[in-house]
Amino acid sequence: MSVDLMPNRYRPGEADIAPRDAALIARRDAVLGSSYRLQYRRPVHFVRGEGMWLYDPDGRAYLDFYNNVPSLGHCHPEVNAAMAAQAGRISANTRYLEPQLVDYAERLVATFPGELDRVVFTCTGSESNDLALRIARLVNGNEGVIVSSYAYHGTSAAVAMVSPNLGEAVQLSPSLRMVDLPGPAGVPEAQAAAFFEAQVRAAIKDLNRRGIGVAALLIDSIFSSDGVWVDPPGFIAGAVAAVREAGGLFIADEVQPGFGRTGTHMWGFERHGIAPDLATLGKPMGNGFPIGAVVGRHAAMDRFGATARYSNTFAGNTVGIATADAVLTILQRDRILENALAMGARLNAGLEQLAGRLAGIRAVRHAGLFFGIDIGLEGMAAAQRRAMALTIVNALRDDGVLISTTGANEDTLKVRPPLICEAAHVDRFLQALQDALGAAAP
């Protein structure tokens, strides 16, 4: 996530908002809490989705290159059929015997390294991270949490307090320490691992000195909210070792990089060659149906379960499990990871060509089908880069292509299409981006 949902800048009656949408905006403002935001300067209104496309009330199609929740595409018929069939039989919780719950749990943990052999189900990624922190703190008796400097890990009270991305109005935990990433700090890749380890060791030292101790290093292994910093693979190794030496756990937040997004592996942490103590899942797990999980090592899970309770009415419900099982089946059967890798390579090649021909792209980073594209010109101030990136996002929206921004300055385009995208979709995006770059040039 990034703070990229722009406030409602347009009020009913303004020329570039259709009367139908202006009226709906007014009704939203009159009844919804003010924490809600609408995306894009001219908000979009969709009535249905299919595959890579979203459709407005007039039938106009928008190419979705942003939403990683429906990773198998919007309204996947096989996923929807599994969901509906189970809803037509029974929706029940985990306190009853249910073979499909166990079947899916076995299939899911089989995609992880062997030492991660237990799973607890949740409803959302926020819930998953909240539970993972509870487990870590109980296991080692410490409170301290280390995250990257612009991390986002969810919206519950506990995880909002370890999510600096949410803005200055959200009070961070006194037990939180934020560390810089080598990429944004301008550290060469050859020195990245040493730099990151030093940052984490300094945070550990400070937490120990203050009597807080280290419960966990909690990271999104693709560092999406920091601007998508994926390389070099393995640069987190020394930092993870330092945390474990200090008694803490390594929690891999797989809500965004998980379920094949990187193309090379099912899970983002696998790019770094390090198995976590706990992995947290969410978003694409149900292709839109709310389901998440914490997968972990049985020692930590058993210790937590022996002394603490976790009961959730909806987590692991039969409809969610049936839906998630269909998603996993399709991911594995239809070789979705291979497609993500191939289409990611095609998109990267196209972006490199654009960067060579047009001004405005400073850098491109990606793993599979998760891209961060830095926007701006040499010598351009941060505010100007941000304005240029937002102009591009909104120009793309007007052209019928959806993306967003990320990073501390919001001058990085965040591109993460459904994993089913094809060559024609990639080429359509590249043409639209070329046009938007031309329109945004100073």
Residue 438: partners with Cβ closer than 8 Å, 6 or more residues away: 358
Token pair, residue 7, equals 């406030």
Q: What is the pLDDT of residues 321-350, one digit of tens each?
A: 999 999 999 999 999 999 999 999 999 999
Band the pLDDT of 73: cuts 50, 70, 90: very high
What mean pLDDT is predicted for residues 111-124? 97
- Please answer whether residues 352 and 132 qualify as being in contact, where contact means their C-beta atoms are separated by less than 8 angstroms: no
Strand positions, DSSP E, 34-137: 48-50, 53-55, 61-64, 116-122
- β-sheet with 361-367: strand ranges across: 361-367, 370-375, 412-415, 404-406
Structure tokens at 385: 């880069």
Q: What are phi and psi of 287, to 5 degrees?
A: 55, 30
The answer on pLDDT for 2 being more than 80 is: no
To the question of domain 44-75+336-440 being in CATH 3.90.1150.10, the answer is yes
Domain ranges in the chain are 44-75+336-440, 77-333
Residue 276 in contact with residue 297, Cβ under 8 Å?
Answer: no
Chain centre distance of CA 225: 8
Q: What percentage of the chain carries pLDDT values higher than 70?
A: 97
Tens digit of each residue's pLDDT (9 = 90 or more) over 236-288: 999 999 999 999 999 999 999 999 999 999 999 999 999 999 999 999 999 99
Using CA atoms, how far residue 270 sits from 107, 170, 178, 221, 372, in Å, is: 18, 32, 23, 9, 20
Across 403-411, average pLDDT? 94
Q: What is the pLDDT of residues 142-180, one digit of tens each?
A: 999 999 999 999 999 999 999 999 988 899 999 999 999
Residue length, the chain?
442
Rounded Cα distance between 58 and 73, Å, is 21
Kindly report the pTM of this predicted structure: 0.93
pLDDT at site 169? 85
pLDDT value for 306: 92
Q: What is the pLDDT of residues 354-388, one digit of tens each?
A: 999 988 999 999 999 999 999 999 899 999 999 99
Q: How far apart are the first and last CA of the chain?
A: 28
Q: Are 289 and 323 in contact (CB under 8 A)?
A: yes
Burial code (b: 16+ CB inside 10 Å, e: under 16) for 188-214 equals: eeeebbebbbbbbbebbeebeeeebbb
Residue 4 has a pLDDT of 36
77-333: what fold? Aspartate Aminotransferase; domain 2 (3.40.640)
Confidence band of 14 (pLDDT split at 50, 70, 90): very low
Share of the chain above pLDDT 90, in %: 84
